[in-house]
Amino acid sequence: MKKVYFIAFMLLSVIAYAQQTVKTKLTAKYSYSQKFGLSETETNSFMTVVFDTKKLKYKTHKGQVFTNLIVVKKTKKYVVCKNQEGNYSFYDIKHKQLYYIDYYRKRYLVGGFGSDNTSIKANLNKMMTMFNKGETQKDVVQFLIKQSEYDF
């Protein structure tokens, strides 16, 4: 009987910590810097995102090494991550959109990949507007969380 409980516990543990893999077709990649503005790179590739409760990793084309991030918060709708430098990234699970923030030499660079290019561009514009007004990375992540919670 103890073996049955142990096996059931192990099975539940594996299921609870299982990785999810999401593959999304990309038609464009976007980046927005405070110095150069919005840039769009057309592509015909896939974004692969693999995440669990501790790590998220992604790549945007075949042959690229995965970018590894540490999960700060994970819900059913989104994942908030940080890189080693302390910059945030955000993955919207439902809409299959990944956003990243990079702060380098007193300037912000934000980027986005995923489905629905129109909403990615709009969100990047809003993110940069927030940074230009002096808001923090956490404020921008809160904005992205609110966007991901809309169910329409």
Question: Quick one: pLDDT at residue 4?
Answer: 57
Q: What b-and-e string marks burial along 65-80, b requiring 16 or more CB atoms within 10 Å of the CB? A: eeeebebeebeeebbb
**Regions of the chain where pLDDT drops below 70:** 1-17, 151-152
Q: How many domains does the chain have?
A: 1
Joined tokens for residue 92: 């919207």
Question: Quick one: pLDDT at residue 18?
Answer: 74
pLDDT in tens, 37-65: 999 999 989 999 999 999 999 998 877 88
Residue 3 lies in a domain: no
Beta-bridge partner residues of 90: 80, 99
Mode of pairing for the β-strands spanning 37-51 and 55-59:
antiparallel
What does the radius of gyration of the chain's CA atoms come to, in whole angstroms? 17
Residue 2 lies in a domain: no
Question: Sign of dihedral through CA atoms 117, 118, 119, 125?
Answer: positive
Residue 116 lies in a domain: yes
Residue 90 lies in a domain: yes
Going by C-beta distance under 8 Å and a sequence separation of 6 or more, which residues neighbour residue 20? Answer: 50, 51, 52
Beta-bridge partner residues of 92: 78, 97
Residue 46 lies in a domain: yes
Query: Which domain does 76 fall in, by range?
Result: 19-149
Going by C-beta distance under 8 Å and a sequence separation of 6 or more, which residues neighbour residue 101? Answer: 87, 88, 89, 108, 109, 110, 127, 137, 140
Residue 14 lies in a domain: no
Residue 52 lies in a domain: yes
Q: Write the CATH number for 116.
A: 2.40.128
